Copies of this chain bind each other. A is one copy, B any other.
Amino acid sequence: MTIDDFNWKILKCLQQNARMSNAEIGRRVGMTSPAVSERIKKLEDAEVIQGYTTFISPLEVGYQLKALITLRAFMGMLKPFLEKVKTYDEVVNCYRITGNENIVMEVVLKNQKHLEIFIDQLISYGETKTQIILSHVVKYSEVKPPTK
């Protein structure tokens, strides 16, 4: 799919505020709302747009800790883990990566006790490394057009 300047402007608006109305987007990019609506639908169909979500503050809803947990899976335990990880409510993001370690997870936790209990659940799958997140320096920065 080709993404022209209009589509990039629409994507910029939607990344900044997914709840912006098509009419408002139209005003900003210089188009009518039916035109915006159709372009968004095509971007969705082409899976350029993969969804719309809301950031909620983990702290405000009762999660005092955020952490990155790296897993080096034991022989034969990676595949079962890849299924299991989907069921953990604590895991907000999970990446499979190259290198000695196989998995990095971003997790939200109520407190240290919760962290301990969560890590205990992982020991059968592999060795873990925990890095507590102190601050979120850059938060879901918008994806911009790559320079050619």
Contact = CB atoms under 8 A, between A and B. Distances in A.
A61 B105 CA distance: 25
A136 B93 contact: yes
A45 B133 CA distance: 25
Interface in A53-86: 53-58, 60-63, 68, 82, 85-86
A124 interface: no
A49 B54 contact: yes
Contacts of A92: 138, 140-141, 143
B93 A143 contact: no
Given A86-B138, A93-B136, A94-B138, A56 B60 contact: no
Interface string A8-19: 000100111111
Given A92-B138, A143-B108, A52 B52 contact: yes
Contact of A53 (B3, B55, B62): B55
Given A92-B138, A103-B137, A138-B85, A46 B60 contact: yes
Given A95-B136, A133-B96, A139-B93, A55 B60 contact: no
A112 B145 CA distance: 17
Contacts of A143: 56, 58, 61, 63, 92, 108
A106 B68 CA distance: 12
Nearest to A146: B62
